[in-house]
Amino acid sequence: MTHRYTTLGEALAAVDAGAVPKGSRIVVSWAWWDALSEAERNTYQSRCDTLGVRLSTDHRISRHFVEVSGPETLPLSSEHRT
């Protein structure tokens, strides 16, 4: 099942609270991700690694939301791991 969140921070908070299972995949807009500084990207990636979720980008997803898919959901062909 896929859920949408407004921000990556909100999605990570849901993972931290146990609302999203470990091994899930968080997908953000490639354009949004590319606009972040290297330090910001490293911080988000480190937080995902610590929480046990995969972080991916997709050039077809809107900058206005973040999608979180459970570990049983296969990634789309347009997704790329960060």
Bridge partner list, 68: 3, 26
The answer to whether the CB of 4 falls within 8 A of the CB of 58 is: no
How far, CA to CA in Å, does 78 sit from each of 39, 40, 53, 68, 75? 25, 23, 18, 15, 8
Q: Is residue 43 part of a domain?
A: yes
Q: Is residue 36 part of a domain?
A: yes
Q: Is residue 79 part of a domain?
A: no
Residue 67 has which token pair? 């999608």
**3-class DSSP state of 62:** coil
Q: Is residue 50 part of a domain?
A: yes
Q: How many domains does the chain have?
A: 1
Q: Is residue 80 part of a domain?
A: no
Can you give the pLDDT at residue 34? 95
Instruction: Report the predicted TM-score, pTM, of the whole model to 2 decimal places.
Output: 0.85
Residue pLDDT, tens place only, 24-71: 999 999 999 999 999 999 999 999 999 999 999 998 898 889 999 877
Q: Is residue 23 part of a domain?
A: yes
Q: Is residue 42 part of a domain?
A: yes
Can you give the pLDDT at residue 10? 95
Task: Of 66, 70, 3, 54, give the one whose Cα is nearest residue 30.
Answer: 66
Can you give the pLDDT at residue 72? 75
Segment 13-30 mean pLDDT:
92
Task: Of 20, 25, 16, 75, give the one whose Cα is nearest residue 51.
Answer: 16
Residue 31, domain extent: 2-73
Q: Is residue 28 part of a domain?
A: yes
